Amino acid sequence: MANKIHVLIEGYAKEIENGWLASSTTTLLEMNDKKIVVDPGCSRPKLLEALARVGLKTADIDYVILTHSHTDHILLDGIFENAKVVTSAEVYDNDHQIDHEGKIPEIEIEFTRTPGHSPDSRSLIVETDEGVYAIAGDLFWWNETEEQKTDYDSLIAHPDPYAKDLALLQNSRKKILKTADYIIPGHGKIFKVSK
């Protein structure tokens, strides 16, 4: 079976008076007969509605993968009663924890370290019939007041108020832009990489 990718929820981010109205892009992968949710976000109604649109329930999900540990990406990881949860370094199956060192049993996903937005950021590289997808978490993200420019120079230079090391962030971005045909950002629309 070929790997399939569906964006369930397009991530959004809007600054409000005392914080943010935001939830991450939530992606469904179908791989090796497994159903995998990447970054379930933090809006329970939107997540349940998105799953229902593709004929799934929380119990149908085998794995939840988290690109990094920010709350707007991970808050709902516990609602999938049968899923193993995968962080940047560990797999949790209820209270059973193992270190994965980039290799997950039953699924073939390449984790690529992409620090910059946060120290633990990882991107997932997934090969499909349409090309190579990078589910990049907040390596790339836009708030609703920003134009989503996807030319190479704009992507490399786009500011990230959470990045502590801009050079590190830019190196991670360059690495993913070289690898991927399509990028699924943490907040914003999926885009094709200009080669």
Distance, CA of 135 to CA of 27 (rounded, Å): 8
Q: Which amino acid is at 145?
A: T
Please give the torsion angle defined by the CA atoms of residues 56, 58, 64 and 69, in that order, rounded to the nearest 10 degrees.
120
pTM of the model: 0.95
Lowest mean pLDDT among 28-32, 84-88, 100-104: 100-104
CATH of the domain at 133: 3.60.15.10
Q: Please write the tens of the pLDDT for every residue from 24-81.
A: 999 999 998 999 999 999 999 999 999 999 999 999 999 999 999 999 999 999 999 9
Higher-pLDDT residue of 111 and 104 is 111
Please tell me the number of Cα atoms within 13 Å of 107 on its side-chain side. 28
Q: Please write the tens of the pLDDT for every residue from 139-173.
A: 999 999 999 999 999 999 999 999 989 999 999 99
Can you tell me which residue has the tokens 């786009």? 158
Residue 127 forms beta bridges with which residues? 132
Q: How many domains does the chain have?
A: 1
Residue ranges making up the domain that contains 78: 4-192
Q: Give mean pLDDT, residues 5-25.
A: 96
Residue (of 144, 142, 123, 150) closest to 134 by Cα position:
123
Q: DSSP for 61-88, please give it.
A: --EEE-SS--HHHHTTGGG-TT-EEE-S
